[in-house]
Amino acid sequence: MGRKPIGIVIVDDSAIVREVFTAELGKERGIAVLGTAPDPYVARDKIVKLKPDVLLLDIEMPRMDGLTFLRKLMHYAPMPVIIVSSLTPKGGELALEAVESGALEVMCKPGGAFTVGEMSAALAQKIRAVAGVKVGRKEQPGERMLRRPVKLALSRTTNKVIALGASTGGTQALQEILAQFPRNAPGTVVVQHMPEHFTAAFAQRLNGLCAIEVREARQSDSVRPGVALIAPGNRHMVLRRSGARYYVDIKDGPTVSGQRPSVDILFKSVAKYAGANAVGAILTGMGSDGVAGLSEMREAGAHTIAQDAKSSVVFGMPAAAIDAGAAVEVLGLDRITAALLEHA
């Protein structure tokens, strides 16, 4: 009797990736593709039914990101896992986080000089190497430190988020910044203090001037490259995350710092769900709305910017942010766009 082939399950939201890996790895001697799954929820059922020897897991997927699933898997049903993702260049923070969470190997998807054939051959070697490795149970976040907050933001993701907050003078500042964004600029979320119904017209005007799409945000709009979402007047806008997808939640609620929409509300949600994947800038305006949120963004690892006094129409919000130590750097309006794009 021959040796039993190594059974694998492939988890990736791309049907093309699943098809290619199934075909390529199916050619490898001693490896059998038992099944595939488009997301962790389907994968959970496949793992229970098929009992694979090795799991190939992507990071950015709908409904639940791969790292969250990996942590759950290593807690309840530890097994050899190889991360296969476009987000994991050698030595990257995500690779370290995946390994710390229990993955045995990390590989990049084909790209550049790395062809599908070469990648499949190398992946087959890694599958053979990790098959049969005894993987111990990993504690879930919070078990060792019950008071430690659950981490909701991935260390690094493909899509970054730019968050902007402005008040008096902000319409001109935002126009100057967004008009310089290239068509593929990172997904952008904006709070500009404006009355209800005015924000739709403002967004429409900007849309006609910019290479990116600019529009008033709607409930559950995706935050994606090439799009800037303006918070509707008299409604708060918060960033959320589902798997690796960022989207916005439009909601009612009391005013914050006398404002609705509030920059603080947006920035705090960006700190919570995007963390170091975000860049934030507080622009010209009266008062202190956005200062607490920008501070939380900086603490979460985001790069934070405040507009300088010379280029601000009203040096209130930026001054308060600077005084609070919330801004990593203070820049004139003519330098903010370049800094946002550089750090995003």
The distance of Cα 315 from the centroid of its chain, to the nearest Å, equals 31
Can you give the pLDDT at residue 146? 37
Residues 93 and 180 placed together within one structural domain of the fold:
no
Is residue 149, in this structure, part of any structural domain at all?
no
Tell me, yes or no, if 155 is annotated catalytic. Answer: no
Q: How confident is the model at residue 150 (pLDDT cuts 50, 70, 90)?
A: very low
Tell me, yes or no, if 289 is annotated catalytic. Answer: yes
Lowest mean pLDDT of 96-100, 191-195, 232-236, name the range. Answer: 96-100
Average pLDDT over residues 177-189: 96
Q: Name the percent of the chain lying above pLDDT 90.
A: 62
Q: In the beta sheet, which residues pair with residue 228?
A: 188, 214
The helix/strand count (H/E) of the chain reads as 11, 14
Catalytic residue among 289, 295, 308, 343: 289
Can you give the pLDDT at residue 149? 45
Is residue 218, in this structure, part of any structural domain at all?
yes
Is residue 154, in this structure, part of any structural domain at all?
no
The CATH number of the domain holding residue 38 is 3.40.50.2300
Q: How confident is the model at residue 140 (pLDDT cuts 50, 70, 90)?
A: low
Name residues whose C-beta falls within 8 Å of residue 278's C-beta, 6 or more positions apart in sequence: 160, 161, 162, 163, 270, 271, 297, 300, 302, 303, 344
Query: How many degrees, rounded to 5, is the angle at CA 273 between CA 83 and CA 62?
Result: 45
Is residue 229, in this structure, part of any structural domain at all?
yes
Residues 230 and 110 placed together within one structural domain of the fold:
no
The CATH number of the domain holding residue 262 is 3.40.50.180
Average pLDDT over residues 81-87: 80
Catalytic residue among 13, 39, 193, 308: 193
Tell me, yes or no, if 221 is annotated catalytic. Answer: no
Catalytic residue among 167, 262, 288, 295: 167
Give the residue numbers spanning the domain of 74: 6-130
* Count of structural domains within the chain: 2
What integer best gives the mean pLDDT of the chain?
Answer: 87
